[in-house]
């Protein structure tokens, strides 16, 4: 089981603003912050953003939502705050109830929010 994950970025302020908006529907807030570093989460900081002049991370990161409306809200907030669409909210072929949306964050990371609950 993962404890936390970290993303490196050359545009810290922009990425922090993006994640604050995009993950707000999931209940994520900045829980800890230092110059050039922020830890976000719901109960504990499990997503860390760090300024790094060496380059950006390049990953796929998926968050779980309990309701499909949260997936929709994530997608809208992400697109309104610098994200690029990589798959509108909807059912996927992975399982009969796999409802997800995908966006690229400002650094190009593929961010997904998925709800496994039925309609």
Per the structure block, which two tokens stand in for 56?
Answer: 């950006």
- What pLDDT is attached to residue 2? 80
> Which CATH number is 39's domain given?
3.10.180.10
Q: What is the count of structural domains for the chain?
A: 1
CA–CA dist 109, 13 (Å, integer): 16
pLDDT at 119: 79
Confidence at residue 118, expressed as pLDDT on a 0 to 100 scale: 86
Q: Which of 3, 9, 19 is nearest to 103 (CA)?
A: 19
Phi/psi of residue 117, nearest 5 degrees: -75, 150
Give the range of the structural domain holding residue 67, as residue numbers without chain letter: 5-115
Could you say which DSSP state residue 12 is in? H
Residue by residue, pLDDT tens for the chain (119 residues) are: 688 999 999 999 999 999 999 999 999 999 999 999 999 999 999 999 999 999 898 999 999 999 999 999 999 999 999 999 999 999 999 999 999 999 999 999 999 999 999 87
- Please give, one letter per residue, the 3-state secondary structure of 31-86: EEEECCEEEEECCCEEEEEEECCCCCCCCEEEEEECCHHHHHHHHHHHHHCCCEEE
Assess contact for 90 and 108: CB atoms under 8 A.
no
- Element spanning 102, H or E: strand 99-104
pTM of the predicted model, to two decimals? 0.93
């Amino acid at each position: 089981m993962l404890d936390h994950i970290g993303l490196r970025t050359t545009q810290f302020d922009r990425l922090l603003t993006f994640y604050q908006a995009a993950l707000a529907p999931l209940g994520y807030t900045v829980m800890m912050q230092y110059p050039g570093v922020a830890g976000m989460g719901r109960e504990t900081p499990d997503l860390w953003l760090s300024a790094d002049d060496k380059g950006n991370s390049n990953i796929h990161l998926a968050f779980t939502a309990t309701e499909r409306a949260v997936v929709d809200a994530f997608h809208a907030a992400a697109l309104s705050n610098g994200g690029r669409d990589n798959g509108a909210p909807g059912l996927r072929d992975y399982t009969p109830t796999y409802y997800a949306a995908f966006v690229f964050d400002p650094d190009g990371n593929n961010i997904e929010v998925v709800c496994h609950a039925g309609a």
